[in-house]
Structure 1
Amino acid sequence: MSQPPITVPGYSIHGRLGKGGMAEVYLATEQALQRQVALKVLLHREDQAFTQRFIQEGHIVASLQHPSIITIYRIDQLADGRHFLAMEYLAGGDLAQYKGQRLEPARALRIVRQIASALALVHDRGLVHRDIKPGNILFRDDGTAVLTDFGVAKQLQLDSELTQSGIAVGSPAYSSPEQAQCQALDARSDIYSLGVILLEMLTGHNPFRGANYTQTLMNQLQLQPPPLPEPLGEWQWLLERMLAKDPEDRFADCHVLLASLDELQDAEQDHTRLSPALGPA
């Protein structure tokens, strides 16, 4: 980590963890409680629209108490006027670190279950995340998946602004067809994005990612999910429901998705219990 160029009263800055287009994240220790935190700091204070979105992110996440949603400790301003968020620090990295790798089905489904449970709360609060992707899924030391980065989350009743602006907010390789077309979004858009992640975890490949932005969006509109390898065939129906091009054909919400995941788990456990009895006498 490089030497940090900022000073935040009450925190000892250890170094920068990463930097994006609008904000950077530092590893720090909160001096009063002697706990490690991640400080997400805006790069500029002039962009009032983004500043408001940043503050909104803090308020949204602070209102959501769930083991698979990042915890916000504080929102405040630096001496130069830039805002920052103090969040829990998760040392397990993000899901993007496994890009190109196939995860064990049990682990992949456990991650999907944890994130779907978090999204059920998000959606019950009348919000849609709109940017479900591997880089926004972090891990605790015990392996628990945690949803983060609510910077483009939006209240469902306000999402018509997206259509009016004509800008597809999110990450194209994980965007739903309706998101690619700048249409109003609901919970089923997040379910589609989670389905892309599940497909990528099971196969090690995201077939919707094209050579460029336009091709990727076209793939989301036209490309059907490929058949899974035979050993993974029992999950094909789950993926097809999550990745249906028409939102009406997807799971109605994350509660229904979670119930289907429970059914899959129960069926697999029954199969495991019966398998020894099916062998030679």
Structure 2
Amino acid sequence: MDDPTPADAHVEPLPQINGYRLLRQLGRGGMSTVYLAEQTALGREVAIKVMAPQALADEVSRRRFENEVRTIARLEHPHIVRIHELGRTKDGLPYYSMPHLARGHLGELDFTRDEAGAVEIAIALLAALEYAHSRGVVHRDVKPENVLFDEAGRPLLADFGIALRRGFGPRVTTAGLAVGSTAYMAPEQARGEDVDGRADLYSLGVVIWEMLAGRLPYEAADALSMALAHAQQPIPKLPAHLRHWQRFMYRALAKSADSRFQTTAEMREAMLAVRPPRWLPAWDRVRDVIGSPAMRWGAGIAAVALLGWGVASVWPRGGNDGFFHVPNAPLAAAPDTEAAPDPTDRMLAPLPGADIEMAVSRGRAQIARNALTTPEGDNALATVLEAWTNHPDDPRVKALSTDLDTALRTKTVAAVKGNDDARARDLAGHTEQLARATGQRGDAPAAADLQKALRTRFDDALAHNDRKRAQQTLVLAKDLRLAPAELTRWTREANRIEGAPRTVAGDEVADLGRGSVSPHPVTRAEYQRFVDATHRPASLCRERASLLRVFAPRTWQSPGFAQGPNDPVVCVSLQDAEAYANWLGGQAGGKFRLPSSSDSSRASADVGGRSISLWLRDCGGSCLERMVTAHSWRGRTAQEPLTANRGYDDVGFRLMRER
């Protein structure tokens, strides 16, 4: 008889489902719980996955999930776990039933000394993915725990519960995490981008690596670090006895989806073409012998003999000290031929095109860590120029060149905003070098975002009648190739500066007349003074749902793109804006508030070439939501209500003076 459950122990009740008798819990995850159950009508054991309430919080998401499960249930393949039935528990939670496969999962098996067995498993999984992809279904979570075995020992791909039909866009959990397991996740999936079957092939490549090597290709302490490793770190080297798989892995784990195997058939063909060197089977036998108890016992005797041989080989020849007798024998002549090269070295040679992928991977990693032009020999500019010289027509190299050009220009804009003229000139020079080397115009006029940063500095100098700073900005603008027509116009404006610098109020809105709305949004510098005085904490800023950004939240100090002190502050909540208005009233003597839609016709502002919406005091459905103006770089085309207690990276604010 089983021990009774203690009266004070908390036992979670099993869900109630018509037609099933739930027996016990098999496992729990963040989105669902799996139970062992008996289907009463057929008297068979099944596994039932019940979705967690927080995973599908509303009826719309539950119906969408059920539609996806119906799509997956139509998949009938010998290596895909079937879905028996879809329904809802008595509490209204969606569930589906499937066979109970009790023989464990792939992660519990060891294939490190069974390449043929690992290939057999991979072939079966490729067949399952090929079938699913042909029907528009991407698994999105291929990993060992989702490869189960039936009674006949066949591998079956399970848990298409987070799979997605092409065209639905990326899926995220309620916590904002991109679905899938980061240890096996393709870089584009970790970034929250749309994915296709090539993401599944990347994950399968990681699974194959782990089966062969007994470990993952990348190791990290947390989910974010693991995702960054897959996105940025070069593809590592396999152990020496697995070198013949290295070329395959260069393609399977390519950072760019376009550089990977494009289809399951292509990946299968490349995998079947991998051949181990002739010496590997013999080495496996030697390794087995070395590991035996008898061999370990004999190793001591061998060590003593080897030591004796070593001493004898270095002892002075021609004498006998009574301990060793070494005859006077001439040394053997060294052979006149070079040693034969190790045949396995050829296996490390990349597949055709893999050298490009390695260069692109290295360049992207250098851009990610801001090694754009330094250090010498390990910077993105050197990588791109070398790759362009060798492969000028390859689209991957062209894309990398474009990414570097964007990064250089972004850093140049930041240097202008930070008044670091020397850095701005240096970066601009490297940008021209890249343009000339890649056949672009090295003397092209400054881009719009760079011109805007220069103009902001120039306008600030004009506002303060600061002739010296205006002239410095003009010289910098010329060096950064501002359009000649703009230079002429700016020069005329600078020449009109006369007299002593006039006093400008600390905040533009402090000089407003009663009933007036500030012509420009509150800037980062103005908001910084408020934060320094009040120590107000930064609000959580809404951002694009992506695994990498969930672990690196945005605030008004770091909204996700470069800003200068005179740019409009974003990522502040409506409550932050009202607190700023109250503080400013105490500083400037007066009363300030957010404008309503009837107070101002200004629908948007601009920050770093990005149009932003502005908070309004008007309530939305309730005053927990407030309206924002139309037209932002996020695609906002009309006024709409937003939650008032959080910031948005495309929303700033103006103020109106009441008295």
Same fold (TM over 0.5): yes
Cα separation, 2, equivalents of 1:103 and 1:141: 23
Report the CA distance shift for 1:131/1:103 in structure 2 as closer, same or farther (over 3 A).
farther
CA offsets 1:196-218 (integer angstroms, 9 cap, x no match): 11111111111323112221111
- Written as runs of structure 1 = structure 2, the 5 A alignment for 1:12-23 is 12-23=21-32
* Aligned counterpart in structure 2 of residue 125 of structure 1, from 123, 135, 146: 135
Query: Is 1:260 equivalent to 2:253 in the alignment?
Result: no
Amino acid paired to 1:16: Q
Report the CA distance shift for 1:188/1:10 in structure 2 as closer, same or farther (over 3 A).
same
Cα separation, 2, equivalents of 1:112 and 1:14: 34
Shift of 1:119: 0.6
Shift of 1:227: 2.2
- Contact 1:4 1:15 (C-alpha < 8 Å) held by counterparts: no
CA offsets 1:32-60 (integer angstroms, 9 cap, x no match): 22222111112327443552354134213
Length-normalised TM-score, structure 2: 0.38
* Aligned counterpart in structure 1 of residue 72 of structure 2, from 43, 54, 61: 61
Rg larger in 1 or in 2?
2
Q: Alignment partner of 1:66: what SS?
A: coil
- Contact 2:251 2:260 (C-alpha < 8 Å) held by counterparts: yes
Report the CA distance shift for 1:59/1:238 in structure 2 as closer, same or farther (over 3 A).
same
Shift of 1:251: 0.9
Deviates more, 1:84-93 or 1:41-50: 41-50
Q: Alignment partner of 1:75: what SS?
A: strand
* Aligned counterpart in structure 1 of residue 99 of structure 2, from 85, 88, 94: 88
- Contact 2:14 2:22 (C-alpha < 8 Å) held by counterparts: no
* Aligned counterpart in structure 1 of residue 226 of structure 2, from 216, 219, 225: 216
Report the CA distance shift for 1:131/1:20 in structure 2 as closer, same or farther (over 3 A).
same
Aligned to 2:255: 245
Structure 1: gaps spanning 5 or more residues: 276-281
- Contact 2:170 2:193 (C-alpha < 8 Å) held by counterparts: yes
Cα separation, 2, equivalents of 1:251 and 1:53: 31
Shift of 1:9: 2.5
Could you list the structure 1 runs, at least 4 aligned residues long, displaced by more than 6 angstroms after superposition.
none
Report the CA distance shift for 1:137/1:5 in structure 2 as closer, same or farther (over 3 A).
same
Cα separation, 1, equivalents of 2:265 and 2:63: 31
Aligned to 1:27: 36
Shift of 1:188: 0.9
Aligned to 1:7: 16
CA offsets 1:212-267 (integer angstroms, 9 cap, x no match): 22211110012233222233222222222111112122111112222333444xx6
- Contact 1:57 1:150 (C-alpha < 8 Å) held by counterparts: no
Cα separation, 1, equivalents of 2:194 and 2:165: 11
Amino acid paired to 1:172: T
* Aligned counterpart in structure 1 of residue 47 of structure 2, from 38, 42, 60: 38
- Contact 2:202 2:253 (C-alpha < 8 Å) held by counterparts: yes
- Contact 2:68 2:164 (C-alpha < 8 Å) held by counterparts: no
Aligned to 1:71: 82
Cα separation, 1, equivalents of 2:68 and 2:158: 10
Cα separation, 2, equivalents of 1:50 and 1:149: 18
Cα separation, 2, equivalents of 1:58 and 1:102: 35
Q: Alignment partner of 2:161: what SS?
A: coil
Cα separation, 1, equivalents of 2:198 and 2:141: 13
Cα separation, 2, equivalents of 1:60 and 1:66: 14
* Aligned counterpart in structure 1 of residue 235 of structure 2, from 225, 232, 242: 225
Amino acid paired to 1:58: V
CA offsets 1:135-173 (integer angstroms, 9 cap, x no match): 2111112221111112222222222677xx985322111
Amino acid paired to 2:97: A
Cα separation, 1, equivalents of 2:242 and 2:163: 33
Length-normalised TM-score, structure 1: 0.84
Shift of 1:185: 1.0
Deviates more, 1:150-159 or 1:118-127: 150-159
- Contact 1:129 1:190 (C-alpha < 8 Å) held by counterparts: yes
Tell me the C-alpha RMSD between the 2 structures: 2.7
Cα separation, 1, equivalents of 2:12 and 2:189: 39
- Contact 1:103 1:201 (C-alpha < 8 Å) held by counterparts: no
Report the CA distance shift for 1:25/1:161 in structure 2 as closer, same or farther (over 3 A).
closer
Cα separation, 1, equivalents of 2:92 and 2:168: 28
Cα separation, 1, equivalents of 2:86 and 2:113: 36
**Structure of greater relative contact order (alpha carbons < 8 Å, 6+ residues apart):** 1
Shift of 1:66: 0.6
Q: Alignment partner of 2:67: what SS?
A: helix
Structure 2: gaps spanning 5 or more residues: 1-10, 283-659
Cα separation, 2, equivalents of 1:60 and 1:205: 34
Cα separation, 2, equivalents of 1:4 and 1:258: 46
